[in-house]
Structure 1
């Protein structure tokens, strides 16, 4: 069986960002979050899922959102205690919590560390006040710097999220953001191109963003500067120092399994001769009601065998290391012959290189990743 990870979705945030298409919900009702009720629902969700994962150990936990750092350290402590009571964890289980500078309070990160979180992922996005306002972020440059400084003191490993190709951004402004981020010597850096996703505010009212040529120049500079700083680009959008790659995300990209709990969370679970995907109810109140009744799953379907090659490649080809041919068969249950023609075409186009054991994307393959992945769509 593939390694099994746990994803926990905490859906609330202070304000919905105009570019965000995640299942996040502004907390508008005043007062405190319904932490206790939601934690009760999460525990019930895990209990109902136990027959699907019985006996399997959890090798990583990722608490995402929303803004999970809106929950108190005590709430995160209870969440992790409930998980440990129900699921066996690997001894070196990586436990990541997403945090935003806008919810930062001094010593709050230390409280998360004491609760059992081993890795923080901080959604900085930019250190430029004007760009932060354009992105609808609730923090400013000073709060971002204070939050990262606190993370440096509390965590041996952490991640910074940055975005580029922002509204009105110049190459010099992109470099300034990157220079400030690298000044903290982060163990891990994630850098994402701003995309205008459907069903977002930016999709309805698109801002003026850099053209493709300028965005490409920005990415070239990011790759160059991170390399000079000792960070290795091990995935399309992820850069890390040796020993600090994100174990949880690596499991996704290697087509591992994950149990997703919380409002709108997705699961991918393997069984003999089949792979199943599940989705929980998205709306928090409905999710809590359904989970407490033992019925949190809104969709439950088996992945068609003909779709498995594309699903595998959507993940595996994001990695600089690519994938072992044996892993393709191990994780999908399919022979390598089903992807032979697509591999030949990808190699002819200069999108991959390969040997008898392994396949990996070239620099051109990274630049045209969607085209490379599309070669594996079912005919």
Structure 2
């Protein structure tokens, strides 16, 4: 049986973009006539399906993509109205991902009027040549203007940077982001995912150069007074992203829209994780939650996937997500939630990682070191 405890977090995936970036591996598509209307119709059905089987009391909402800010004013207003009617208005935080090319001062004000308290702006760089190489359709000036408008309207403005791209001056981009006054900055490593245009074109990223760039960014942001609270995220006091913190804690969260993933609790403490199918299948499939309610061991529905996570699998999930947080993960809490103590089943692996200065173990607290965060994939593979 699913838990009667309300789910407090929701992610809505908007898959539409004006164009697709060559590094992007997310489920996105270029908008065509009729796409958004059909998407919104199905979204309303999915929301009704969800609340029929899961109690919801929202603290945070995150609308991402894709490019949700690419939706027209009336389209985004309809999306927000449907979410609020079915799930309620989030009490603590509502984030909208924003592409700088979609912003004007009036549009930014409208997004805030719709209830978004946090705008996450995909600047990636402020160098026009770097942006061109990344396939971005905005300029550095567009990004700066968008940030200025967001700061004037929203409670929290976050800026995304991507590095290292060819020819990028990492220090200049970080300093420019700090100088805007944004309260939150995310620094993501450029990775080449299979099947993307970058991968097919043979674009490569030097791992050593990437580690050096990310370390330099961390030093600059720390010196500027930003607190690093996750591998890729830095915030001023009181400006951490609450939604993402819940995600890294493996808290129950709804995944709404094509390809979105969610997690709900069973009454025995185990989890059900599902991923919705991609757009074409999602339009005609029921929410996997409808199947989960009747059979928690169901494997899939309409092209999506469903997984019952418990025991050692749940322990691994809690470790993998928790190690992304600078504060680390409480091993006693992992044991309580999963029923498996990593200090027993991963004793030798933890000792080796500690000896290699990749993790610190302080009582029940396990945290990646600075070096471990740069080599986090290696750390997580060792504990898998």
Give the TM-score of the pair, scaled to structure 2: 0.88
State the structure with bigger RCO (CA 8 A, min sep 6), 1 or 2. Answer: 1
**Aligned partners of 2:58 and 2:91 also within 8 Å:** no
Choose 364-373 or 336-345, whichever is displaced more: 336-345
SS at match of 1:354: strand
**1:3, distance to aligned residue in structure 2 (A):** 6.1
2:370 matched to which residue of 1? 363
1:140 matched to which residue of 2? 139
Choose 98-107 or 336-345, whichever is displaced more: 336-345
**1:347, distance to aligned residue in structure 2 (A):** 2.1
Q: Distance in 2 between matches of 1:147 and 1:65?
A: 18
1:265 matched to which residue of 2? 260
**Structure 2 unmatched runs, 5+:** 291-300
SS at match of 2:105: coil
**Aligned partners of 1:41 and 1:291 also within 8 Å:** no
SS at match of 2:202: coil
Root-mean-square deviation (CA, aligned residues, Å) is 2.3
2:78 matched to which residue of 1? 78
Identify if the C-alpha distance between structure 1 residues 58 and 292 changes in structure 2 by more than 3 Å, giving closer, same or farther: closer
1:307 matched to which residue of 2? 313
Deviation digits for residues 31-88 of structure 1, max 9, x if unmatched? 5x6434322211211221224422x422211101010001134333332332222225
**1:367, distance to aligned residue in structure 2 (A):** 2.1
Q: Distance in 1 between matches of 2:215 and 2:327?
A: 20
Task: Give yes or no for the alignment of 1:289 onto 2:284.
Answer: yes
Give the TM-score of the pair, scaled to structure 1: 0.90
1:40 matched to which residue of 2? 41
Equivalent of 1:25 in 7, 17, 29: 29
Q: Distance in 2 between matches of 1:342 and 1:52?
A: 40
Aligned structure 1 segments of 4 or more residues deviating by more than 6 angstroms: 292-297
**Aligned partners of 2:331 and 2:341 also within 8 Å:** no
SS at match of 1:290: coil
Aligned residues: 367
1:325 matched to which residue of 2? 331
Identify if the C-alpha distance between structure 1 residues 291 and 111 changes in structure 2 by more than 3 Å, giving closer, same or farther: farther
SS at match of 2:91: strand
Q: Counterparts in 2 of 1:1-379, with a 5 A limit? A: 4-27=8-31, 29=32, 34-54=35-55, 56-88=56-88, 91-92=91-92, 94-169=93-168, 173-207=169-203, 209=205, 211-273=206-268, 274-283=270-279, 285-290=280-285, 298-303=304-309, 305-336=311-342, 337-377=344-384
Choose 350-359 or 113-122, whichever is displaced more: 350-359
